[in-house]
DNA sequence: GTCTATATGTGGATAGAC
DNA sequence: GTCTATCCACATATAGAC
C-alpha cells in the first residue's frame, strides 16, 4: 500500500516549507502535489496552524532520532560534530532549502504561538546535544581548543543555521562550507 | 520641514520588514502609517519589488557608512569587532526585529532577483570589512587566537546573523548574548 | 502628489452532498 | 475521505479625477 494521504501531505508540506517558506505554499499547492482537492487537505489538517504544529513536532522527533543515531555510530566527539555538520549541509540541498527550524524561525508572525514554543524546545534539545558532544570531544581530544562546552554549543547552532541561511540566499552551498571551515579545522 | 513622504515610506517599510518580514506588511499598512492612501504609495514605489530594491540599496549604504564610522572611532581590531557586535544587538531591538539582510534572506521567494544579488553584495562587503578587522586584531593583539582572518570573517557573519535569528524567534535577546559569548571572550 | 474607485488574483476556511 | 461550490478577507496593482 502506498504512503497514506496524511503522511504524504506532511512530506510535501515540509519540503515546501523548507524551500519556499511557510508563507510560500498554500493548501492549493499541497492539494495539487498530493492529487486531492483543497477541501480534502482541510480534512486532515483543519487549519494551516495545525499543520505547522504537526510539522514541527515530527521534525523535532526526527532530528532527535538522527542525533541518537550519530551517537550510536560515532564514538568520538569530533566525528559526531562532523556528522551534524554533514546533516546541515544535506538539509541545504545544494542551496535550495533550509532546515525546518530556520525556515520557521523566519516566519514567526505567520505561525501559532505553540510553534514558537516548539522552536524554542528544539533549539534547547540541539544545544544540549552539542554541549555533550563538545564535552566528549574535549575529553577524547578530537575537538581542539575546547574550554567551555556550553559556550561552544551556544555558538555552534547559530553558526550552522546562519551559514545555511546565507548559502540558501545566494543559492550557493560554498558559502556554507566557508562559514564552517574554521570549526572543521578543529576536528580530528 | 518634515521628512518627505518617500523617506517616511522607506523608514516605515524597513521597520515593518525587519519586524514582520517582507511578506508581513502591505501597502495598506504603509499607507496607514504614513497617513496617505494606498494608491499614493504606488506613486512613490510602483511595485513592492521596486520598494524592496530601494530598501536594500539604502541599507547597504547605511551599513557601509556605519562600518566606516567604527573604523574612524576605534583604532583596535578588538574594539571594532565589539562595535559591530553591538550594532547587531541593537538591530535585534530586544528580540523584536532582525537586520534587513537576515529578514530579506528569509523571504527569498517573494523578492526580485535583483535583491538576491544585492544581498550577496552586502554579505561580501561585510565579510571584507570583517576580514580586515580580524587582520588588524591579529596584528595589534586585541583579538586572541586569529590564524586565518578570512576564515574568521566567513564564520563571524553567519554567527551574528544566526544568533540574531534565534533570539528573535524566541523574542529573547539573551540567546544572542549566549551565542556571542565565546567570540567576545577573545576580545581585549 | 494625492485621491476615490475598482480590477484581479489568491489566500485560508466552511457547508453540505456523495 | 473526498468532492463541488462558495464565502470572505486581503493582497498588489491600475484608471482617471482633482
- Write the pLDDT tens digit of every residue in B139-180: 999 999 999 999 999 999 999 999 999 999 999 999 999 999
Q: Would the pLDDT of B15 be above 70? A: yes
In a domain, A40, yes or no: no
- Residue A29 sits at the vertex; the CA angle it makes with A60 and A92, to the nearest 5 degrees, is 45
In a domain, A51, yes or no: no
Contact A124, A37 (CB under 8 A): no
Q: pLDDT tens across B85-95, in order?
A: 999 999 999 99
3-class DSSP string for chain B: CCCCHHHHHHHHHHHHHHHHCHHHCCHHHHHHHHCCCHHHHHHHCCCHHHHHHHHHHHHHHHHHHHHHHHHHHCCCHHHHHHHHHHHHHHHHHHHCCCCHHHHHHCCHHHCCHHHHHHHHHHHHHHHHHHHHHHHHHHHHCCECCCCCHHHHHHHHHHHHHHHHHHHHHCCCCHHHHHHHHHHHHCEC
Alpha carbon of B21: minimum distance to chain A alpha carbons (Å)? 8
pLDDT of residue B162: 98
Give the pLDDT band (50/70/90) at residue A3.
Answer: confident
Contact A180, B155 (CB under 8 A): yes
Pull the grid cell for residue A102.
530556520
In a domain, A48, yes or no: no
Pull the grid cell for residue A115.
510553534
Alpha carbon of B41: minimum distance to chain A alpha carbons (Å)? 24
In a domain, B133, yes or no: yes
Q: Mean of the per-residue pLDDT values for chain B?
A: 97
Asked if A158 and B154 come within 8 Å (Cβ–Cβ), the reply is no
Q: Mean of the per-residue pLDDT values for chain A?
A: 97
In a domain, B41, yes or no: no
Positions 35-64 of B with beta carbon below 7 A from strand D are 38-39, 42, 46-49
C1' (C4) to CA (B39) span, angstroms: 10
Mean pLDDT of B45-61: 98
Q: pLDDT tens across A130-157, in order?
A: 999 999 999 999 999 999 999 999 999 9
As a whole number of angstroms, the distance between CA B66 and CA B59 comes to: 10
Residues B8-18 as b/e (b if ≥16 CB within 10 A, e otherwise) read bbbebbbebbb
Asked if B179 and A158 come within 8 Å (Cβ–Cβ), the reply is yes
Label residue A95 exposed, middle or buried (CB < 10 Å: 0-12, 13-18, 19+): middle
Residue A43 CB neighbours (<10 A): 11
Q: How many domains does chain A have?
A: 1
Residue A138 sits in a domain whose CATH number is 1.10.357.10
Q: Report which of A168, A11, A177, A33 is spatially closest to residue A97, judged by C-alpha positions.
A: A168
Q: Is the CB of B28 under 7 A from strand D?
A: yes
Q: Is the CB of A36 under 7 A from strand D?
A: yes
pLDDT of residue A1: 44
Q: pLDDT tens across A151-186, in order?
A: 999 999 999 999 999 999 999 999 999 999 999 999
Q: Is the CB of B29 under 7 A from strand D?
A: yes
CA B182 to chain centre: 21
In a domain, B19, yes or no: no
As a whole number of angstroms, the distance between CA B155 and CA B123 comes to: 12
Contacts of B175 in chain A (CB under 8 A): 123
Name the residue among A104, A108, A161 with its Cβ closest to that of B162: A161
What is the domain range of residue A169?
57-185
As a whole number of angstroms, the distance between CA A140 and CA A83 comes to: 17
Mean pLDDT of A57-76: 98
In a domain, A39, yes or no: no
Mean pLDDT of B71-81: 98
pLDDT of residue B108: 86
pTM > 0.85: yes or no: yes
Give the pLDDT band (50/70/90) at residue B1.
Answer: very low
Alpha carbon of B175: minimum distance to chain A alpha carbons (Å)? 8
As a whole number of angstroms, the distance between CA A72 and CA A38 comes to: 42
In a domain, B110, yes or no: yes
Pull the grid cell for residue A174.
560554498
Beta bridge partners of A187: A143
Amino acid at each position: 500500500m502506498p504512503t497514506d494521504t496524511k503522511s504524504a501531505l506532511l512530506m510535501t508540506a515540509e519540503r515546501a516549507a523548507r524551500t519556499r517558506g511557510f508563507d510560500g505554499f498554500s493548501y492549493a499547492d499541497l492539494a495539487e502535489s498530493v492529487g486531492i482537492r483543497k477541501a480534502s487537505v482541510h480534512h486532515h489538517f483543519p487549519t494551516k496552524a495545525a499543520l505547522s504544529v504537526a510539522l514541527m513536532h515530527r521534525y523535532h522527533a526526527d532530528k532527535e532520532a538522527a542525533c541518537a543515531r550519530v551517537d550510536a555510530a560515532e564514538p568520538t566527539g569530533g566525528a559526531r560534530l562532523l556528522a551534524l555538520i554533514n546533516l546541515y549541509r544535506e538539509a541545504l540541498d545544494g542551496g535550495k532549502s533550509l532546515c525546518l527550524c530556520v525556515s520557521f524561525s523566519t516566519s514567526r508572525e505567520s505561525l501559532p504561538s505553540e510553534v514558537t514554543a516548539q522552536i524554542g524546545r528544539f533549539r534547547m534539545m540541539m544545544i544540549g546535544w552539542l554541549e555533550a558532544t563538545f564535552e566528549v570531544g574535549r575529553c577524547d581530544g578530537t575537538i581542539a581548543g575546547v574550554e567551555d562546552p556550553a559556550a561552544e554549543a551556544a555558538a555552534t547552532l547559530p553558526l550552522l543555521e546562519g551559514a545555511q541561511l546565507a548559502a540558501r540566499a545566494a543559492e550557493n552551498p560554498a558559502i556554507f562550507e566557508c562559514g564552517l571551515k574554521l570549526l572543521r579545522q578543529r576536528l580530528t
